[in-house]
Structure 1
């Protein structure tokens, strides 16, 4: 498992920090794509797309295979799973906090009688 303080996890979050790279990962979740296909929705050059692809590769999020002159990329989901597990710790924290808030609000609502005419005081 990749720990939160490792260089690998830092690279994953760096890669996910850019909306273009997140879009590329979304496309790759649907299947393999060439670098040109990844670049097309963003109207960027192949050189610019290649820089994004390299960041995703360094993070271990994709694998690139050269087929003749075409560079084909595919998603590698394991680093995303490790990031999801790490974020899951915070999900439990916030779920607990929101549960506490809900109990507090319900107790407050039960303690205050509603104005029968629905008017503000």
Structure 2
């Protein structure tokens, strides 16, 4: 699953936010945070795992979920390229973005597929 499709879902983005805020969490702890059924949350966790946003480690009878910091760094780098548009010589004029169509800017590559 694509990173953006994974985080577009409100439940999945909330799970990711909780993992970022709380650190590693057991699947059972994550289930308790939501009113959805454990199988539904499990599917969301699977989507986040397939998008490489989270990692899972089995410890005895528990599955512990971790944020995949490498993917998060890549995502941050990808987003930052849009915050530095001005630094690359593109200046907003008259509050319009029409001038962007005429600028010679390399199209950003999506690192997540």
TM-score interval for Structure 1 and Structure 2 normalised by the shorter chain: 0.5 to 0.7
Larger Cα-atom Rg = 1
Residue 84, structure 1, aligned to residue 72, structure 2? no
Pick the structure with more helix per residue: 1
Measured after TM superposition, the shift of residue 41 of structure 1 is: 2.1
| In 1: Cα distance, 2:78 partner to 2:44 partner | 24
Structure 1: state its 5+ residue gaps.
1-9, 103-121
SS at match of 2:57: strand
RMSD across aligned positions (CA)? 2.7
| In 1: Cα distance, 2:60 partner to 2:36 partner | 22
| In 2: Cα distance, 1:94 partner to 1:44 partner | 43
Residue 52, structure 1, aligned to residue 44, structure 2? yes
SS at match of 2:32: helix
The one of 30, 40, 51 equivalent to 1:38 is 30
Q: What whole-Å deviation, never above 9, does each CA across 1:34-72 have from its counterpart, x for those lacking one?
A: 112112222121111110111111111111112222211
| In 1: Cα distance, 2:35 partner to 2:87 partner | 40
| In 1: Cα distance, 2:47 partner to 2:66 partner | 14
Alignment map for 1:110-121 (pairs within 5 Å): none
Q: Which residue of 2 aligns with 1:26?
A: 17
Residue 62, structure 1, aligned to residue 36, structure 2? no
Q: Runs of 4 or more off by more than 2 Å in structure 1?
A: 92-96, 99-102
Structure 2: state its 5+ residue gaps.
95-113
- How many correspondences in the alignment? 94
TM-score w.r.t. the length of structure 2 is 0.68
